Structure 1
Amino acid sequence: MSAPSPAFPPVSGWLIRVSEVFGDLTADVVGRTGATSSTPLGSEYHLLKGTDLAAIRGSDVGHFIRWNMPVHHSWPCNPQKTDSFIEKAAQALFRKFGQLPLQAILVGQLDPSSPNKYYKTLASNLRGRTLQLFPNVGKIEVEDQDPAAPTLFCLVGPEGLFCGVQSPRDANGFHPGGTRYISQNAPGTISRAGAKIAEALHYLRLHRPPLAAGSHWLELGASPGGMTSELLKRGHRVTAVDRAPLDPRLDKASGLTFSRADVATFQPPTGESYDAFLSDLNGSARDSIGYIIRLSSHLRKGGLVVFTLKTSDATTVEAVNELYQSVTAHAKAVGLNRFATTHLTYNRQEFTLFFERTKA
């Protein structure tokens, strides 16, 4: 007779993250999750009571929830004023989670944008000490996790420590709190848009393998070329389309074909097909998805679409939802099925949507 599986601690609440750029809508978003009560934590997190992942996903505001975590353990305290905080916290985590089949233990900050480095250092030190106590959990790279396997996520800040076990896919990110932060200040960076597509491609690993080097992307609205440059660095081929020129640093770049044309009328060469489409166009989201739909016959079956849904003109949750649902429905009608949505670090009032072409 096999031994019973180790029991998870009970869930005392649900931690969700709603990006600050949606600040005017946050109260409405939180109110639609089905929670009976909520407590703000840090600048973007909310501790919910009386709801769960199924209720959050079943609500009409799931796309606003950048990241989420069941709270299996919490320690409300001020870590800076708590003697031996790291040791006490690590020992408590081992007592509660030490027998669970965890693939990783990850610790982050409740306020990752804070200029105060104390909690970043505290999170790193807490993770290091905790890993010493868990003999069967190694220090693996964050994005080497199995998206479907359980990870112990922890967030720490002035409000205390909050921890839970969940797969990265269910949490909607490999990292505690969401996807990977990528600096936009690296030498040779053309624009911050390069960081957006880099983060989007890291996020994509939650749902499907990365596209192979040499894959052919069609990028709509490419100027000045921040995203183009990032794709080329990863070994992809890019056909970039824009009425405006690309940055001169991309002149004669290997793997790049530039078409100085209006996206609305651009037509690929006869017989040309692509592995992926990329659209970060400004302007109407309905127009932007219309361009994708018009060109969709040139996307291979199983091909990927990375689409930025701009919502700056939608000032209520209802308006954002209507736009989101309309774009998704129009895409689905031509065989482009949305399989994931997130809000990236460099996104503003916008979401990044991921579609896959299911029709030949």
Structure 2
Amino acid sequence: MSHASWLIRIPDVFAPFAPQILAGLGATPRKMLGGDYHLVELADPAVLSESERALFTSWNLPVEHGWPCCPQKMDGFVEKAAQGILKKFGDRGAQALFTGPLLPGAPHPFYKHLATNLRGRVLQLFPSLPVAEVEAQDPSAPTLFCLVGKEGLFCGMRSPREANGFYPGGTKFIRQAAAISRAGAKIAEALHYLKLHQPDLPAGAHWLELGASPGGMTAELLDRGFRVTAVDKAALDPRLDRAPGLTFIRGDVDTFNFKSDGEFDALLCDMNGDPRVSLRQVVRLSAGLKAGGLIVFTLKAAGADTPEDMLALIRAAEAYAVASGLTLIAKTHLTYNRQEFTLFFERAPGH
């Protein structure tokens, strides 16, 4: 396959808009793969970092080595595929190799196991690779990613930051069996995603959380060793009663105020309702952050019916935040987002 061939992942929530998203990227569709992947010809890969419409894609990869086949029906697939990967990429200087299934949520584990076996065999053949763990990758260094499914094998090299995720496909599975709410997975994924752009906050950092009830995000932050001041007019889940590190203030966010400048290291807002109203509170309370303090803001796009409507909402939010002294770090659509986007800001020094 030519280097113009790319895998672009469009989340299921945006699937109805896939044709116009791809058209906006100048992509020529070739085939659907797995669940969310589009195999396309891409005239200008720069659009994946420069175009607004790239926000509707969750992950991307140049297809530098493709083997259309049905692995489940092929004898010796792992060995043949591993030898092909070695021949194509063995001397390319990848920092790491990670493999995954094209359909990660499929009930049948065949391709998940196949991906694991393929990685094991390739690592036996390859020269030593410097990085073994997913989250130990340098976000700016090239990684060899391989995806396998019933349509075949698709491989390419891309830095995690350019691909928009550390994992093949960008997805990080987060267990939620005993979680208070889905929101816990959302902040866990957000903090994982942020590693693409800056170091983790230190343990013990103090978060201000707006609209915390029922406490899914609160619990996740506490589990990570952070302190949390949570504000909501509704109660938190009883499991958080007397939780170490938690201060809960029951009341409206719009009447809450911080005690002093620099009181908090980070601010989190996942409030429902009009995102413009929520963002005004975020900007007001950002004065309570230390200079360079982190803001994680969920922009709810419910009611925006088209990608253009959503982009207009995001543009307006960004412009207001920047004019108010915040600096945009990154923005993305997380796996655990629905019709919403996660925006990361920092408080600019001097504001």
> TM-score scaled to structure 2, two decimals?
0.96
Partner of 1:312: 302
Q: Which amino acid is 2:295 matched to? A: V
Report if the CA contact (8 A) 1:74-1:163 is conserved.
Answer: yes
Cα gap change, 1:87 to 1:139, in 2 (>3 Å): farther
Measure the CA separation in 1 of the matches of 2:98 and 2:298: 29
Q: Alignment RMSD, CA only?
A: 1.5
Could you tell me which residue of structure 1 aligns to residue 33 of structure 2?
A: 41
| TM-superposed deviation, 1:287 | 1.2
Displacement after TM superposition at 1:28 (Å):
1.3
Equivalent of 1:87 in 61, 79, 99: 79
Identity of aligned residues (%): 57
Matched-pair contact (CA < 8 Å) for 1:181–1:345: no
1:151-175 alpha-carbon deviations (Å, 9 max, x no partner): 0001111111111101111111000
Tell me the CA shift for residue 333 of structure 1.
0.8
Answer yes or no: is the 8 Å Cα contact 2:291–2:348 preserved in 1.
yes
**Stretches of 4+ aligned residues off by more than 4 angstroms:** none
Structure 1 pair 253–19 and aligned structure 2 pair: CA distance change class (3 A):
same
Match of 1:133 in 2: 125
Q: Which SS does the other structure have where 2:221 is aligned?
A: helix
> Which residue in the other structure is 1:23 paired with?
15
1:103-182 aligned at under 5 Å gives the runs 103-137=95-129, 140-182=132-174
Please point out which of 197, 222, 225 is paired with 2:212: 222
Name the residue aligned to 1:184: 176
Partner SS for 2:292: strand
Structure 1 residues 115-153: Cα deviation after superposition (integer angstroms, max 9, x where no partner): 111111111111111111112226611001111111000
Distance in 2, Cα, partners of 1:329 & 1:271? 24
State the alpha-carbon separation in 2 of the partners of residues 171 and 328 from structure 1.
Answer: 23
CA distance in 1, matches of 2:123, 2:116: 11
Letter in 2 for 1:166: R
Q: Deviations over 1:70-89 (max 9, x none)?
A: 11111111111122111111
Q: Which 5+ residue runs of structure 2 have no aligned equivalent?
A: none
Amino acid at match of 2:208: L
1:211 aligns with 2:201: yes
| Alpha-carbon distance between aligned partners in 2 of 1:44 and 1:37, rounded to the nearest angstrom | 13
Tell me, yes or no, if the aligned pair for 2:9 and 2:169 is still in contact at 8 Å. yes
Offset at 1:264? 2.1
- In the TM superposition, what is the alpha-carbon distance from 1:37 to its structure 2 partner? 3.5
CA distance, structure 2, for counterparts of residue 74 and residue 167 of structure 1: 19
Structure 1: distance between partners of 2:303 and 2:349: 32
Q: Deviations over 1:183-212 (max 9, x none)?
A: 111x4x211211111111111111111000
Return the TM-score normalized by structure 1.
Answer: 0.94
- Aligned residue number for residue 61 of structure 1: 53
Contact 1:179 / 1:202 at 8 angstroms: preserved in 2?
no
SS in 1 for 2:311: helix
Single out whichever of 338-347 and 72-81 deviates more from structure 2: 338-347
Summarize the alignment of residues 254-333 of structure 1 with structure 2, pairs less than 5 Å apart: 254-271=244-261, 273-333=263-323
From 339, 343, 346, the equivalent of 1:356 is 346
TM-superposed CA distance for 1:353, in Å, is 1.2
Any conservation in 1 of the 2:165–2:193 contact (CA below 8 Å)? yes
Q: Which residue of structure 2 lines up, in the alignment, with residue 4 of structure 1?
A: none
| Cα distance in 1 between the residues matched to 2:28 and 2:4 | 13
Decide whether aligned partners of structure 1 residues 350 and 359 sit closer, same or farther in structure 2, where only a CA change above 3 A counts: same
Counterpart AA for 1:195: A
- TM-aligned CA deviation for residue 12 of structure 1: 3.9
Question: Which string of whole-angstrom CA distances, capped at 9 and with x for unpartnered residues, describes residues 243-285 of structure 1?
Answer: 0011111111111111111112211124462111101111111
Distance 2:52 2:140 in 1: 24
| One-letter code aligned to 2:140 | A
Contact 1:14 1:51 in 2 (8 A): no
Give, as a single letter, the amino acid of the residue that structure 1 aligns with 2:272.
N
Q: Secondary structure at the match of 1:264?
A: helix
Aligned to 2:332: 342
DSSP-derived class of the 1:359 partner: coil
> Which amino acid in 2 is paired with 1:356?
E
Letter in 2 for 1:267: N
